[in-house]
Amino acid sequence: MKRRDFITSSVVGAGALALSGCYKEENRATKSSSVQKKVTLKLATSWPAHFPIMGTGVDNFAKRCFELSGGTLEIKVYPKNILVPALQVFDATSASQIDAFHSGVYYWKGKNSAFSIFGGMPLGLTSEEMLTWLKFGGGMELWRELYAKFNLYPLVGGSTGPQMGGWFKKHINSLADLKGLKMRIPGLGGEVLKRLGVNPILLPAGEIYTALERGTIDATEWVGPALDRMMGFDKAANYYYTGWHEPGSILEITFNKERWEKLSDEHRAIITAASEEMTGTMVQEFRYKNAKALAEMPSNVEIKNFPKEVIDAAKVALKDVLNDESKKNQDFKRVIESYNKFTKLNKKWDDISTRNFLNLRS
């Protein structure tokens, strides 16, 4: 009996000690969280205040960081032109004037043409495929390596899904109709059209409608039906062409690298998780709202496909652009090789899965 009582008391005692240890660890973790130093970051965007989907996506990202951190991480979002102009957020973050920014990657191709690839490829990968290449195919490592030269640390900050080809004031019946056309279009898509005779122009969101309405530009692409109609493009142009140049554009939420490295592990983990949540939500919201806006498109708008002649010429021009940039820029060559390696790996599976299913469904 004494032996049994001793064993019982020993087991109970050991259990109590174990539980005590658990409570101590829990209290220590709680204490660690409760004494986490309050951090406030300034984040500037390239969009107007609370701009639908992209701007509100960043607003919700900042809210989630605050919630998940228990209020110890506050990200203050500043829309374009409040702290810095829309297309100067890269430089301002690089120079440590602000802590972070949200924008489109291809806006910075003047810094390094390789950046265009991270933003998306004409006639290339969809959003799902782009995100897979970045996360599993080595794209993100290259992106961070190249941005580190500018004291920046990028995260994916959303994706638009497939974009439309743009709004035109006249029919595009042949390659000849593109000659001399002034069109707002960024990235590699702009480089391709430049070789087809178009004059590509880069304009921030708030300036596009006025330029189109007044004839400063002849055509513009933006995103898709939801945001395009909100911008009023259907009132300034009647011909809406289907897309080829941005099948899966990537947005970025990029931090000053020195500032990022000074954040706690907990705050960096929270920011990373919140950015992935924002990306998934943004893709889904774009799909739903684009479908809804397309169903409500006014009758004056004609949805058109580019002639085969134009698409065939765009494919040739794209190949030339990629070859020329690879010869001029070793960074571009390394990134496009990684991109092409994943594309080749992905193609056979995509052909027998997604492509095959969509053909069957249609």
SS3 per residue for 101-151: EEEEHHHHCCCCCCHHHHHCCCCCCCHHHHHHHHHHCCHHHHHHHHHHCCC
C-alpha span between 159 and 312 (Å, rounded): 27
pLDDT digits (tens, 9 = 90+) for 224-254: 999 999 999 999 999 999 999 999 999 999 9
Question: Does residue 310 register a pLDDT over 60?
Answer: yes
C-alpha span between 142 and 335 (Å, rounded): 7
Going by pLDDT thresholds of 50, 70 and 90, the confidence category of residue 35 is low
In Å, what is the CA distance from 73 to each residue of 37, 52, 226, 271?
A: 9, 24, 32, 9
pLDDT digits (tens, 9 = 90+) for 98-118: 999 999 999 999 999 999 999
Going by pLDDT thresholds of 50, 70 and 90, the confidence category of residue 214 is very high
Task: Note the pLDDT of residue 205.
Answer: 85
For residue 78, the cross-strand partners are: 44
Question: Which residue, 87, 64, 168, 156, is CA-closest to 119?
Answer: 156
| Number of DSSP helices (H) and strands (E) in the chain, helices first | 15, 11
More confident residue, 18 or 124: 124
pTM reported for the whole predicted model: 0.88
pLDDT digits (tens, 9 = 90+) for 142-189: 999 999 999 999 999 999 999 999 999 999 999 999 999 999 999 999
Element holding 10 (H helix, E strand): helix 2-34
Residue with the two structure tokens 């008391």: 9
Whether the Cβ atoms of residue 219 and residue 196 lie closer than 8 Å to each other: no
**Paired sense of beta strands 39-45 and 100-104, if any:** parallel
User: Mean pLDDT for the chain?
Assistant: 92
Q: Give the distance from CA 282 to its chain's centroid.
A: 9
For residue 77, the cross-strand partners are: 43
Whether the Cβ atoms of residue 90 and residue 252 lie closer than 8 Å to each other: no
Question: Does residue 20 register a pLDDT over 60?
Answer: no
CA contacts within 13 A on the Cβ side of 124: 29
Question: Does residue 6 register a pLDDT over 80?
Answer: no
Mean pLDDT (whole number) for 80-95: 97
Task: Note the pLDDT of residue 183.
Answer: 98
Question: Which residue, 164, 143, 163, is CA-closest to 153?
Answer: 143
Total length of the chain? 362
Q: Tokens at residue 230, please?
A: 């909100």
Question: Does residue 1 register a pLDDT over 90?
Answer: no
Task: Note the pLDDT of residue 332.
Answer: 98
C-alpha span between 265 and 209 (Å, rounded): 43
Task: Note the pLDDT of residue 267.
Answer: 98
Question: Does residue 32 register a pLDDT over 60?
Answer: no
Task: Note the pLDDT of residue 16.
Answer: 41
Domains and CATH numbers, the chain: 38-159+248-289 (3.40.190.170), 166-245+299-326 (3.40.190.10)
Question: Which residue, 118, 224, 81, is CA-closest to 164?
Answer: 224
For residue 331, the cross-strand partners are: none
Task: Note the pLDDT of residue 2.
Answer: 45
